[in-house]
Structure 1
């Protein structure tokens, strides 16, 4: 499969200001201090200090095993911190779950429970209502809006098992949109997917930022990370965080990935890792 261009994430004004509004006392979207997560004797995440303001698009980038997915799972409450402090919208993660939507990188459709796309999107409302309460008019409107935004109206009666990877990903993102969450977590949301899905999801990320939601996504792609408001470069710890231009530098990338890093004129980053073939991270997917 050839490379396709990564659709840009744009702010409505053409520039980004992610500073907290001094006129409000609302807590940041995410606050981490000395955060660590262990799986047995394995330290997946260590010593993370990070503050994410409301309404920002944040890209977490790093090599495999760097703790990106673990960090998302801890924010959503799927994983528990081993030490340190984590607040989500000023709350403990377990108390903020209804306000957080998490789209996993690899969600396998269950063959024993053949859900349709319509049923999958509807489940996004359960975070607010619970699974047994009837939908309200506002919930039905949220479902319809999510379906339209993700361009899956023609797929509603099809089962997830019948869909392509891109179509299935759009259904899961629609489920998150139906939840109308304040924090949206997307684990590798567009990697390896078709261009329509990439464009649709990046448009939604822009729109959710404009709505005031905070979007946190993981990526392996330097070009994608460059289009976020804030970048967090991980190697189990935070190597660097801040605006893309300050974080995605050859020295920081070399620290995270190992070896030497070269930035080509076209924006391609070449990682020369000892005893490995070169890995190229394009500003295209």
Structure 2
């Protein structure tokens, strides 16, 4: 592998990964092989790049290998299997749960019950080495360490409650960079689609030219949900309390389901919980129940969503500075 990559011409390597081009900068000999270019560097060049020769070679090879990996389609996931560990008292957790693409599962339970730990075990593809002792199998097999600890091309994408950017890029540049790294055709067009999708989810719209650091928490979550649904190759998506994001949670959920991924979301929202095909109930650090959503529960969704829309309309009224002098008749205690 290393010999093959070292034989690449500099201009080929720069086209493979924008991060490679940004690191080495412009070169007067683009047709030079990577091996020859590395051999030509003197002490001053290495000081400027802040790498030793060995470190630089390893880092550049990793960037190229990462880019080539992006061009190789991710193996389609057939099933995710979660095997029980133990609860907070050390008692055995009775769990053997299999999920397949297109599944949407809610994770419910009181604050502190262990919902985030459950999602965290899936995120790291736990093998009995976390506090819960759970084990995660991919297509019936233990994931190999390279896949489990890979920095890129991960099987799991996670959206936490707190989303803050520190990189000094515009929204458009950031999404285009991701699209280029994924080697998609027309990255500018794809970035525009991701941003348009994010704006349909966010309460306050934003442009491609705004800095990432200026996005609100809700806008950041909307952008990452759109990115995960439209651009990410990860077949498993974990979401921590999407109802706290200040976005259109139903549209976000529909978007993720349409992408044919396995979606697990921790939530306190009854509407989101009932939209899932099943819900996992966490208590004392372990899965206490796995409940299939019944036809009766689905029938109740229409009424719950009706009142949710009324509440949403009231929120929008107050957000735009209007007064709430009267309540809709549906909210009247005598209605």
The answer to whether the superposition gives a TM-score over 0.5 is: yes
Note if 1:121 corresponds to 2:169.
Answer: no
The farther-off stretch of 97-106 and 28-37 is: 28-37
**Structure 1 counterpart SS, 2:154:** helix
TM-score under structure 1 normalisation?
Answer: 0.60
Instruction: Output the CA distance in 2 between the equivalents of 1:81 and 1:284.
Output: 44
Match of 2:185 among 116, 119, 137: 137
Cα pair 1:32 1:85 within 8 Å, conserved: yes
Match of 1:165 among 214, 217, 229: 217
Match of 1:73 among 102, 120, 124: 120
Residue 191 of structure 1 is matched in structure 2 by 244
Residue 108 of structure 1 is matched in structure 2 by 164
Match of 2:267 among 194, 219, 227: 219
**Aligned residues: CA RMSD:** 3.9
Cα pair 2:280 2:289 within 8 Å, conserved: yes
Cα pair 2:103 2:262 within 8 Å, conserved: yes
Instruction: Output the CA distance in 2 between the equivalents of 1:171 and 1:217.
Output: 17
Q: Deviations over 1:208-252 (max 9, x none)?
A: 323422211110122320111111111111121131349x9xxxx
More contact order relative to length (CA 8 Å, sep ≥ 6):
1
Structure 1 residues 175, 243: closer, same or farther in 2, change over 3 A? Answer: same
Question: Deviation of residue 47 (structure 1)?
Answer: 5.3
TM-score under structure 2 normalisation?
Answer: 0.52
Match of 1:205 among 253, 257, 263: 253
Question: Deviation of residue 32 (structure 1)?
Answer: 1.2
Note if 1:34 corresponds to 2:72.
Answer: no
Paired residues in the alignment total: 213
Instruction: Output the CA distance in 1 between the equivalents of 2:233 and 2:270.
Output: 29
Cα pair 1:34 1:85 within 8 Å, conserved: yes
Residue 7 of structure 1 is matched in structure 2 by none
Note if 1:242 corresponds to 2:299.
Answer: no
Cα pair 1:61 1:222 within 8 Å, conserved: no
Instruction: Output the CA distance in 2 between the equivalents of 1:78 and 1:53.
Output: 16
Residue 16 of structure 1 is matched in structure 2 by none
The structure with the larger Rg is 2
Which structure has greater helix proportion?
2
The farther-off stretch of 223-232 and 160-169 is: 160-169
Structure 1 residues 103, 93: closer, same or farther in 2, change over 3 A? Answer: farther
Residue 98 of structure 1 is matched in structure 2 by 154
Give structure 2 stretches of 5+ with no counterpart. Answer: 1-75, 298-302, 305-309, 313-335
**Structure 2 counterpart SS, 1:170:** helix
Question: Deviation of residue 34 (structure 1)?
Answer: 2.1
Question: Deviation of residue 90 (structure 1)?
Answer: 4.4
**Structure 1 counterpart SS, 2:85:** strand
**Structure 2 counterpart SS, 1:157:** coil
Note if 1:58 corresponds to 2:105.
Answer: yes
Question: Deviation of residue 55 (structure 1)?
Answer: 0.9
Which structure has greater strand proportion?
1
Match of 2:199 among 151, 154, 164: 151
Instruction: Output the CA distance in 1 between the equivalents of 2:155 and 2:188.
Output: 18
Residue 228 of structure 1 is matched in structure 2 by 276
Structure 1 residues 99, 192: closer, same or farther in 2, change over 3 A? Answer: closer
